[in-house]
Amino acid sequence: MIFHNIRLLDTEDELSDLQAESVPSEVRDWLACTFSRRTGVSKRRPEEKPRFRSIVHAVQAGIFVERMYRRTSNMAGLTYPPTALNALKEVDQWSFDVFTFHEATGEHALKFLVYDLLTRYDLINRFRIPVQALVQFVEALESGYSKHRNPYHNLIHAADVTQTAHFLMLHTGLMHWLSELEILAMVFAAAIHDFEHTGTTNNFHIHTRSEVAILYNDRSVLENHHVSAAYKLMAEEDMNILVNLNKDDWRELRSLVIEMVMSTDMSCHFQQIKTMRNALTQTLGIDKVKVLSLMLHAADISHPAKAWPLHYHWTHSLMEEFFRQIKKWNLVFPFRHSVTVRKTISFIDFIVEPTFSVLIDTTDKVIGPLIEEDRKHLSSLSTLPRFSLTGSGSVTVESVQRHSSGLHGNSDDGPTDFSLTAIDLPAMRLHLSGVIASNKERWKELSVHGKCTVKQKLTFSMSGNIQSNTSHHQKMSLSELLLKF
């Protein structure tokens, strides 16, 4: 069969070349009655049902219906529980309590947070993300995070890292430097970064020769699985949230996401920090992918820099997960709380503090010139339209400003200013340093007074397939604890 003059409509085509008069009046009336509140359509008797007079008319009507469906489906959204709306008032704050938010959403913290952030950044409209597919995709993410019933690496942790990444983009000013696609990559990567985590470390998989270790050749075993499994979800048509991205954007997004999630492998930590410190000494610009990766890594290990109740909660969850792994290894493992406290403080000193220090320094190098240029524009007496310094354009920034100051914002304090000139990196550095120092002192106090409630000793019989020296495993396990905190 030969078809002549057939042209596929591009997803960007707004049907500007399809004239209204080419669609029969009964089709236009039916569309108006069905998909709008238009009242000017003449009423018909029940027996006068609209009839399609030709295949051409049917195709034309179908195109209009598909286009109108796309426009209206993204407006449907999710129905937020009132308690969730109240909790979201703090979503732009460092002190955001993800545990309270999890309860407020009926234990769906990740679903509502991802949807809310994509809405705040206007990314659902910008990349024409089908809302129903988005909901099903994030619900599948939540199921995957709950698969192994982990105390720590679960959907609450994913939501916490996603919110922290949002805070860092917002309050460091990096949001003004990133493109819309890069912001989407950050939210997406944060949401999937521990998808289907087994509650065990990469070393556990390597030493036990697990299926995923064999599959990924012992290299960033879990991180490779997180990305791969998440993308497999989108192979299902009803969960393909990236269906409307063009090929170039799809490839760039995937490249960004892979690089960012790989950076959460703690075995890469010291090299990552070294690379960023070297970049700070160079006169050339800093690679955006490396900045995004550092930001996600910082968000992933951020809880020691959060308020004490949050940090304490996360620490105990992580310890419980660690103990479960020790049981799986079935080793003799004496463990005292004083060791735990020392290791916790060491992790904060040698891992957390340097990471945030480098992140703030990096941000200062990137955003500093933009802030200065923005201030010059503000002080200029020129009447010309103000130039946008944002990588994503003013639309994204204005969208975040509107959402944060509007429905979900804390109106009691007035609208929050997220402009470049409002960025205060020294204040952020001071605040983070103060919280970290306070948390370290709390751990020291608990150690001195013997009030630390973590399990103090685990003793198991030595058996199983692992025949290596016990002391080696004890040392390695403690190291793993630090590197997955």
Tens of pLDDT, residue by residue over 10-50, are 443 444 444 555 555 655 554 455 444 444 444 444 444 44
Which residue would you say has higher pLDDT here, 345 or 111?
A: 111
- Worst-scoring range by mean pLDDT, 77-86, 317-326, 338-347? 338-347
- Worst-scoring range by mean pLDDT, 104-113, 240-249, 370-379? 370-379
- Pairwise CA distance, residues 401 & 423, whole Å: 14
Residue type, 87: A
- Pairwise CA distance, residues 204 & 362, whole Å: 34
Task: Provide the Cα torsion 409, 414, 420, 425; round to 10°.
Answer: -90
- Worst-scoring range by mean pLDDT, 111-115, 220-224, 254-258, 478-482? 478-482
Task: Let me know the angle formed at the C-alpha of 236 by 211 and 179, rounded to the nearest 5 degrees.
Answer: 95
Burial of 251 (0-12, 13-18, 19+ CB in 10 A): exposed
The whole-number pLDDT of residue 258 equals: 98
Alpha helices in 77-217 (DSSP H): 82-87, 98-104, 109-120, 123-126, 131-145, 155-172, 180-192, 202-207, 211-215
Q: Identify the structural domains of the chain with CATH numbers, from first to last.
A: 20-76 (no CATH), 92-483 (1.10.1300.10)
Q: Which residue has the tokens 């019989």?
A: 461
Q: Which residue has the tokens 């619900």?
A: 139
- pLDDT above 60 (res 252): yes
- Pairwise CA distance, residues 330 & 334, whole Å: 12
Which residue would you say has higher pLDDT here, 296 or 399?
A: 296
Kindly report the average pLDDT of the chain as a whole number: 79
**Tokens at residue 191, please?**
């949401």
- pLDDT above 50 (res 189): yes
- pLDDT above 50 (res 445): yes
- Worst-scoring range by mean pLDDT, 50-64, 87-101, 469-483? 469-483
**Binding site as annotated, residues for Zn(2+):** 157, 193-194, 300
Q: Which of 170, 176, 192 is nearest to 405 (CA)?
A: 170
Please state, in angstroms and as integers, the Cα–Cα distance from residue 161 to each residue in 26, 71, 205, 269, 353, following that order: 52, 31, 24, 17, 17
Task: Let me know the angle formed at the C-alpha of 122 by 120 and 123, rounded to the nearest 5 degrees.
Answer: 115
Q: Which of 478, 465, 436, 218 is nearest to 338 (CA)?
A: 478
**Tokens at residue 300, please?**
């992933």
- Pairwise CA distance, residues 151 & 349, whole Å: 25
Given a contact cutoff of 8 angstroms between Cβ atoms, the answer to whether 448 and 353 are in contact is no
- Pairwise CA distance, residues 55 & 152, whole Å: 57
Please state, in angstroms and as integers, the Cα–Cα distance from residue 259 to each residue in 176, 220, 263, 264, 275, following that order: 21, 12, 6, 9, 15
Neighbours of 233 (CB within 10 A): 19
- pLDDT above 80 (res 3): no
- pLDDT above 80 (res 458): no
- Pairwise CA distance, residues 442 & 241, whole Å: 44
Residues 221-245, mean pLDDT to the nearest whole number: 98
Active-site annotation, residues: 153
| DSSP character at residue 305 | G
Burial of 439 (0-12, 13-18, 19+ CB in 10 A): buried
Given a contact cutoff of 8 angstroms between Cβ atoms, the answer to whether 115 and 99 are in contact is no
- Pairwise CA distance, residues 320 & 313, whole Å: 11
Give this prediction's pTM.
0.76
Residues 209-217, mean pLDDT to the nearest whole number: 97
Residue type, 365: K
The whole-number pLDDT of residue 342 equals: 72
Residue type, 313: H
- pLDDT above 50 (res 414): yes
